[in-house]
Amino acid sequence: MPIARLDSRALIAVTGPEARPFLHNLLTQDVETLGQGELRFGALLSPPGRLLFDLFLLGQADGVLLDVAADRRDALLQRLSMYTLRARVQVAADDRTVLAAWPDAPAGFIPDPRTPLMGGRLYGDATPDADADEADYHAHRLSVGVPDPAADAPQDTTYPIEADFDLLNGIDFHKGCFVGQETTSRMKRRGVIKNRMMPLDLDGPAPAFGAEVLKGEQRAGQVLSGRDGSVMALVRIDRIDGELTVDGRPARLRRPAWMGQDVIPSSNA
C-alpha cells in the first residue's frame, strides 16, 4: 500500500478553551461536534462565499489541528489571528508531518473524510517510511476524480460547491452561520450550480492551466491541474453532453464513483 509524505501540506494548531466555537463560527464544517481523533474536511471562505483555504480538521483533546496548503499556511495564520479578537484561543504553526496512504486507510491512519477511495491521512513526528511521492498521490487523486482546491481553485475565484465540497462532505448545511454561509446556502437551496470540477481523460501530456475545454466551438470549461492522460477541469454542466476537445485533442469526461447520478443528468456525463 503506497504511503507518501505530503510536503505541500502543513499544520496549524488551534488550542484553548474557545478553540472549537471560534472555528465553528468561521468554517464550513461543524467543529463543535468534532470528536477527538476524528478528521473532517472543510474550508474558510471569503465573506462573498468564495474559497480561500481548503483544510482538514483533526479533533484533539486541547483543540483542533488544521491540515492546510503549505504555501498558504502563513496567510491562514494571519487571517485566523485577525478573527481572534478577545477569544481565548492560541493559533500557531505545527511542524509535524502529513502523510497519505491509499487506496485504503491502514492501521494508524485516519480515513479520508471526503471519500473512502482516497485512503487515509496520518499526522506526527514518528511516521512510517514513505515508499511513494506526491506525484503518485496526485495520480491516485485524479484517478478517483477528487479536486485539489489548493491547486485547482485560485484563491477567492471559486465557490466551494463548484469544487464539489457539497459532495465530498466539506460543508455542513445544518450548522449555524459561518463566513460566506449566505451565498453557499443560497446556491444549494436554489440549485444555481452552473459549473463543477470533474476529471477529463485525454491522450498525451496535460494541457496548460486555463486551457479551454470546447464543445464544438463553444467554451465548455477550462483545465486546472493534471498529468499525462488525465486532468481536472472546471466544466459547464450544460455543455458536457457532446464531444469535447482540449487543444484539439478529444477529451472524455469521467463521472467519479462518489458523484451521485442526480448531480449531473446521465445524458450529460
C-alpha torsion angle, residues 174, 175, 176, 180 (rounded to 10): -90
Asked if the structure places residue 170 within a domain, the reply is: no
Question: How many distinct structural domains can be found in the chain?
Answer: 2
Would the pLDDT of 67 be above 70? yes
Whether omega before 106 lies within 30 degrees of 0, making that bond cis, reads no
pLDDT at residue 265, rounded to an integer: 55
Domain holding 137: CATH number? Answer: 3.30.70.1400
In this prediction, residue 267 has a pLDDT band, given cuts at 50, 70 and 90, of very low
| Range among 141-150, 189-198, 256-265 with highest mean pLDDT value | 141-150
Same domain as 216, residue 136: no
CA torsion sign, 10 to 198 to 224 to 155?
Answer: negative
Count the alpha carbons within 13 Å of 82 in the hemisphere toward its beta carbon: 7
Task: For 153-216, give the DSSP string.
Answer: S-TTSS-TTTTTTTTTT---TTS---TTHHHHHHHHHHT---EEEEEEEESSSPPPTTPEEEET
Give the structural domain span for 207.
Answer: 194-256
Same domain as 138, residue 198: no
Residue 251's nearest CA partner among 209, 210, 198, 195 is 198
Would the pLDDT of 163 be above 70? yes
Same domain as 209, residue 100: no
DSSP state of 48: T
Mean pLDDT, residues 33-43 taken together = 97
pLDDT at residue 176, rounded to an integer: 81
Mean pLDDT, residues 172-196 taken together = 88
Q: Which residue has the cell 492501521?
A: 107
Is the entire prediction scored with pTM above 0.85?
A: yes
Same domain as 204, residue 146: no
pLDDT at residue 41, rounded to an integer: 98
pLDDT at residue 147, rounded to an integer: 96
The answer for residues whose C-beta is within 8 angstroms of residue 78's C-beta and 6 or more apart is none
DSSP state of 112: P
Would the pLDDT of 227 be above 50? yes
Asked if the structure places residue 172 within a domain, the reply is: no
Would the pLDDT of 240 be above 90? no
In this prediction, residue 126 has a pLDDT band, given cuts at 50, 70 and 90, of low
Domain holding 213: CATH number? Answer: 2.40.30.110
In this prediction, residue 207 has a pLDDT band, given cuts at 50, 70 and 90, of very high
Would the pLDDT of 60 be above 70? yes
